[in-house]
A and B are shown apart, each in its own frame.
Chain A
Amino acid sequence: MNASRRAYPLANLFANPGWWLALAVVLILPLTLNSGTLATEVLVYALAVLGCNLLLGYTGLLSFGQGIFFGMGSYTLGILMTRAGLGLPLSVLLALVAGALTAALVGWFAIRQRGTYFVMLTLAFAQMFYFLAYSLPDWTGGDNGLLNIPRPPLSLFGMTLMPLDSPWRFYTLVAVCFLVVFWLLQRVTASVFGRTLLAIRENETRASAVGYDTRRFKLAAFALSGAVTGLAGAFHALMTGIAPLSNIEYHTSEMILVMTVIGGTGNLFASVLGAAFYVLMSDWLSTLWPRWLLLLGLLLIGVSLFMHKGLWGLLQRGWTALRRGRAAAAAPEGAPEGER
């Protein structure tokens, strides 16, 4: 055991590597991709998936409503920047708040039920918000969405920090925010609060019996999830310049959920994996074959049957198999040989 530890000093990294792996992804994307927009898209959806995972993986809540918060983030930013003329940082912040508030509202209702009824409630709300957005074109632009969302240079307190006109420059901003949010979520999930959420997921009756008001915790989880997802929606609007109806559509909720489960619900970095996989695959495959969603469907079936810890679980299994293989190879040769 010691031998393999020394041979693989990085083995400990797998105990809590999350943020470093996220950093690695942020650095690798510009090196491997040509399109800054595509790289940004990966991080935008990674944020959305993190929000979904907070509910599913950590609180045990399967929400079909993530598209609501994503869309609200986009719309809020769009409205504030095109109609109210607010600056970029403030609009992003308020979009985040809008996401949190909407999630608190939806959550407050949805939490009143559990299990399948809860899932159905989130679905009903998702559809409600969609049709609401559709029928209020003065606010949302209806079918067309909000157009011509600007991307002014980043300025704080009057000081211009950085122009955001090129895709890679914008990527830098999103990457920094992403890493900060990832780090914050790591703290939250490792905190007393995070552990309480896990307990609620594990056995809600027991959690209530030992003194926790499970509704309040679930509501807080919803608000957090909404904030992160709203932020993602805001960045999406800035990235594309539009706040389309599709962001608040059921399909978006479904895809975010799919990315979450594909990545794996065991930890935060798995969400980055899930989003990266989906966004990159869809970009790559859709140029090869317009019916690539067929492959996604097959993948989903495969994940449900064989890979229920998602891509992260697959990597974990591979890593463990690798270590076991090496350790087995090292063992018969005795201690001195094993120390390398």
Chain B
Amino acid sequence: MSSNRSGSSAAMPPAASTAPLGGAANADAKGDMNAPPLLDARGVVKRYGKFTALGGVDLRVRAGTVHSVIGPNGAGKTTLFHTLTGTVPITAGTIQFAGHDVTHEPDNVRVRRGIARSFQVTSLFANLDVRENLRLAAQGAHPTGAFDMWHAPGRRREIAELADAILQRLGLTARAGTAAGALSHGQQRRLEVGMALAARPRAIFLDEPTSGMGVDDLDGMKTLIRGLAADHTVLLIEHNMNIVMDISDTVTVMQQGRVLVEGTPAAIRDDDRVRAAYLGNMITGGRA
């Protein structure tokens, strides 16, 4: 496994968004406070046997905004994402996305609705090359086309072009033919984001995209995420407060399966409850 730390961030292009990469409705302009939220989740409950991971969470995300979810370990942030993206089935509650009730739709169906995600623990097609990973992700938004048993991939040019464009944006063009498992950790984390991008989603869910990243890679990832905000609605789970405070429009703080408080970054930063919850209990994740 080759380590590429010194080269990785240098290879990153500027964060200008390019047309083919915009979300399916990149005209989602933020600012219209009265428009119905793009994502409207109410009373989300998730139980694993006797353990309640989410005890009734409400989340409303306006289109075109960057909405961060923060909280100590064990707060249920990733579980919330799992229910919103359909990775795990919900125990109770409703989830509306772009006017559709997606509560019980599995994750692959929600991709077509315009929801795509990256994983906290890197989950790529490790033995397939980077370009193939992106091609699969791009094709995944049009899965009926994937039942073509006659033609080799490459026939649909827009998918190939999309994969190439994302490669460029991630700064991985040089590594297009490398197996995904052979990339450095930072490159893999970027590819994770790229996999979500490839679905050209309306809402992109990033679960701790910078987790485990070294200082060199961090700037590159920050630029990438900021670039996403221009044409997608972004939901972000992050521990890196630098990024969260810098780019978020709204921040939701979770603790022990519930929402503690929600507001603008400035409001959250000054909130006593948040301070206590985070600083006092960052390791144990207990009550404030």
A and B touch in the complex (CB under 8 A): yes
Q: Verify B145–A192 contact, CB threshold 8 A.
A: yes
Q: Of B18-26, B49-57, B135-143, which stretch is located at the interface?
A: B135-143
Q: Verify B150–A187 contact, CB threshold 8 A.
A: yes
- Taking residues whose C-beta sits less than 8 angstroms from the other chain, chain B's interface range is 35 or more
Distance in angstroms from B205 CB to nearest chain A CB is: 10
Q: In the complex, A187 Cα to B153 Cα: how many Å?
A: 11
Q: A203-B123, A206-B123, A207-B136 are in contact. Are A213 and B128 (CB under 8 A)?
A: no
**A191's contact among B125, B141, B149, by CB below 8 Å, is which?**
B149
User: Looking across the interface, which residue of chain A has its beta carbon closest to that of B125?
Assistant: A202
Q: Residue B124 at the A interface, CB < 8 A?
A: yes
User: Looking across the interface, which residue of chain B has its beta carbon closest to that of A203?
Assistant: B125
Distance in angstroms from B85 CB to nearest chain A CB is: 8
Which residues of B sit under 8 angstroms from A213, Cβ to Cβ?
Answer: 106, 108-109, 143
Q: Of A110-118, A166-174, A193-201, A284-292, which stretch is located at the interface?
A: A193-201
Q: Residue A220 at the B interface, CB < 8 A?
A: yes
Distance in angstroms from A36 CB to nearest chain B CB is: 33
Most chain B CB within 10 A, of A194, A202, A205, A207, is at A202
Distance in angstroms from A194 CB to nearest chain B CB is: 7
Chain A residues with a Cβ closer than 8 Å to the other chain, count:
26
**B146's contact among A188, A192, A202, A203, by CB below 8 Å, is which?**
A192
Which residues of B sit under 8 angstroms from A206, Cβ to Cβ?
Answer: 119, 123-125, 195
Q: Verify A203–B126 contact, CB threshold 8 A.
A: yes
Q: Residue A325 at the B interface, CB < 8 A?
A: no
Q: Verify A191–B136 contact, CB threshold 8 A.
A: no
Q: Residue A132 at the B interface, CB < 8 A?
A: no
Which residues of A sit under 8 angstroms from B128, Cβ to Cβ?
Answer: 198-199, 202
**A211's contact among B119, B127, B141, B151, by CB below 8 Å, is which?**
B141
Q: Residue A210 at the B interface, CB < 8 A?
A: yes
Q: Residue A208 at the B interface, CB < 8 A?
A: yes
**B148's contact among A192, A208, A212, A214, by CB below 8 Å, is which?**
A192
**A208's contact among B107, B112, B153, B199, by CB below 8 Å, is which?**
B107
Q: In the complex, A115 Cα to B160 Cα: how many Å?
A: 33
Q: Verify A210–B136 contact, CB threshold 8 A.
A: yes
Q: Verify B108–A212 contact, CB threshold 8 A.
A: yes
Which residues of B sit under 8 angstroms from A191, Cβ to Cβ?
Answer: 148-153
Q: Residue A209 at the B interface, CB < 8 A?
A: yes
Q: Residue A281 at the B interface, CB < 8 A?
A: no
Q: Which residues of chain B have a CB within 8 Å of any CB of chain A?
A: 85, 87, 106-109, 111-112, 116-117, 119, 123-128, 132, 136-137, 139-141, 143, 145-153, 155, 195, 198-199
Extra 8 A-B pairs, beta carbons < 8 Å, given A193-B147, A203-B123: A191-B150, A193-B146, A193-B148, A209-B107, A209-B111, A211-B143, A217-B147, A220-B147
Q: Would you give 24 A-B contacts (Cβ < 8 Å), ordered by A?
A: A188-B149, A191-B152, A192-B139, A192-B149, A192-B152, A192-B155, A193-B146, A193-B147, A194-B149, A195-B136, A196-B146, A202-B127, A203-B126, A205-B123, A206-B119, A209-B108, A209-B119, A210-B137, A210-B198, A211-B141, A211-B199, A212-B140, A213-B106, A217-B147
8 closest A-B pairs by beta carbon, nearest first, are: A211-B140, A211-B111, A210-B140, A193-B149, A210-B137, A192-B148, A202-B125, A196-B146
